Structure 1
């Protein structure tokens, strides 16, 4: 009998990538989503609101693991309302999932939470799991998120939190718009270009989740990023080179601010800040990356997918 994995908030880019990855390894996948209930490509979508216990909670009883991706996208302007939703969507989902697990007669053996490297703030200093946290709204969100997740232990259920970096994958995520910019010879340096991008290939991220699901050694906090962070300038230069593009005009910070607010309706800090993070704990536990070279990762993602 296939092991059931419940992906809460799993209808986004990361969740659907993990669902496909696990399904190809013979896991039974259930996605908790605000969408109407349906079955698509063998995956069951169960409706929930991310805040309150209802019939969805029965899916956790007897499941092998729960992975929580729930949270309002930070790709927005940080109005008071959006700030409140960014916080509440994260805290509420953690709280209600823990409540549901606590009610299980056969609780999942692992509860894995998708977090963020944003907890380190905007820094060029090398950060591992034990590095000091930064300051600002995004840092405060991450701190409250992690505190809620680890506030109390769940008997019989391992708790793992991945601080996820800049995940590169096809058909969505943050890589797609950068690829489009480069295709129009607009993939130049953003701002100073000195801000770091802690990147990883989505295949490596999925493998990390699988390790955390199946290995009893996994517990606590891990930086889920690749071992070779790069500056924004190097990132965009490498992307242009792999795509066969030459020099592209830079986008100075004032233009980033203007474009972010007026055209993209998002926070300019998402493009102008960065962090230089490494995955010390997961490497120490023997994880091996398939993609440590940014160039190799780009070449894989840009090649045609065979049917």
Structure 2
């Protein structure tokens, strides 16, 4: 298969690209850089080297400004615009191709369900409130042009991605190794996570299985409390996990972003993955962290 990927240099994009190439697929990065084997684009200007996408079987859209930063009004604008403009450009370009790609796999986020829920949510649950929820609610419909053109579209709503190479886990390792790690706030908030290797296989499933479309929550089947996460991480690293980070300090440091990320309380389940026969390599947190930090 020939698969074009935006955000191919990011944490998820790199891992997905390597997995696909290993199995003999052709991966075509969509990037602001130029080159013979690169599709050059500029989402702000609405330009893309469309001719290089001819013959693609699928397009995977992972583009978007990182959310792990203090949310000023300018940062919020970039977070939203980077997702809206890139996804719209990809969807409209895919719809205009002949032949059209069979699938558009679009990254989204479990933040669409909000950041505090009393009950567990799944793909059938209602949308929540908050900045990230509002972003996702505007983001996902940007794929409509592709769907209207008969292209199979899957929305992968991603939970907290665990990898020592980047993201939340990478930031936690240093303080825990220094013996100053611990829960954030009261530690009761639920974290819905997924190991990077399992996330790659979710994307592979969506790319390669013609029956996969619609929304899929990419989360492991066993979410944990923040306190349990800290305890397991400390055990795997052989370090204590007794130094809490007060919620007020986290809010002062990161503002609104903290409330909707590290302090969010959201138990997300995936109904679709079991229905599709998906099998997790790392369904529990101890299994995931032991592999990622000890065996991987």
Alignment TM-score, normalising by the size of structure 2: 0.93
1:218-273: CA deviations, max 9, x gaps? Answer: 01111011111111111111100111112421111111123336xxxx83222111
Q: Deviations over 1:191-223 (max 9, x none)?
A: 121111111111111111111111111011110
Matched, 1:63 2:56: yes
Shift of 1:69: 0.6
Decide whether the 8 Å contact of 1:98 with 1:154 is kept in 2: no
Q: Is the aligned partner of 1:287 residue 2:282?
A: no
The verdict on how the C-alpha distance between 1:124 and 1:179 changes in structure 2, with shifts beyond 3 A counting, is: farther
Mapped contact 1:61–1:101 kept (Cα < 8 A): no
Matched, 1:210 2:204: yes
2:257 corresponds in structure 1 to: 267
CA distance in 1: counterparts of 2:71 and 2:105, whole angstroms: 27
Say whether the 8 Å CA contact 1:167–1:199 is kept in structure 2. Answer: yes
- Cα 1:103–1:147 shift into 2, 3 Å: closer
Instruction: Tell me, yes or no, if structure 1 residue 29 matches structure 2 residue 10.
Output: no
Question: 2:145 & 2:267 partners in 1: Cα distance?
Answer: 28
Question: What are the superposed Cα offsets for residues 162-203 of structure 1, whole Å, 9 maximum, x if unpaired?
Answer: 000011123122211111221111220101211111111111
Change (3 A) 1:141 1:247: closer
Q: Which runs of 4+ in 1 moved over 3 A?
A: 51-55
Equivalent runs, 1:216-231 vs 2, <5 Å: 216-231=210-225
Task: Give the secondary-structure state (helix, strand or coil) at the position aligned to 1:245.
Answer: coil
Instruction: Name stretches of at least 5 consecutive residues in structure 2 with no aligned partner.
Output: none
Question: Once the 2 structures are TM-superposed, how far is the Cα of residue 60 of structure 1 from its aligned partner?
Answer: 2.0
Among residues 165, 176, 179, which one is paired with 1:182 in the alignment? 176
Aligned twin of 1:15: 13
Deviations 1:120-167 (A, max 9, x none): 112242010011221111111111112222466243420000000011
Tell me how many residue pairs correspond in the alignment: 294
Farther off after superposition, 100-109 or 151-160: 151-160
The equivalent residue for 1:101 is 94
Could you tell me which of 137, 142, 153 is aligned with 1:159? 153
Structure 2 CA distance for aligned equivalents of residues 73 and 29 of structure 1: 23
Q: Deviations over 1:23-65 (max 9, x none)?
A: 111111111123x3358xxxx4433222445452223221011
DSSP-derived class of the 1:82 partner: helix
Match for residue 105 of structure 2? 112
Match of 2:286, SS state, is helix
Kept in 2, the 8 Å contact 1:195–1:274? The answer is yes
TM-score, length-scaled by structure 1: 0.90
Match of 2:3 among 2, 5, 16: 5
Taking a change above 3 Å as real, the CA distance of residues 243 and 38 of structure 1, as seen in their structure-2 partners, is farther
CA contact (8 A) 2:220 2:284 kept: no
Deviation per residue, 1:86-144 (Å, 9 max, x gap): 11111111111112112211211010000000011122420100112211111111111
Q: 1:75 to 1:300 in 2, by over 3 A?
A: same
- Which of 199, 202, 205 in structure 1 is aligned with 2:193? 199
Gaps of 5+ in 1: none
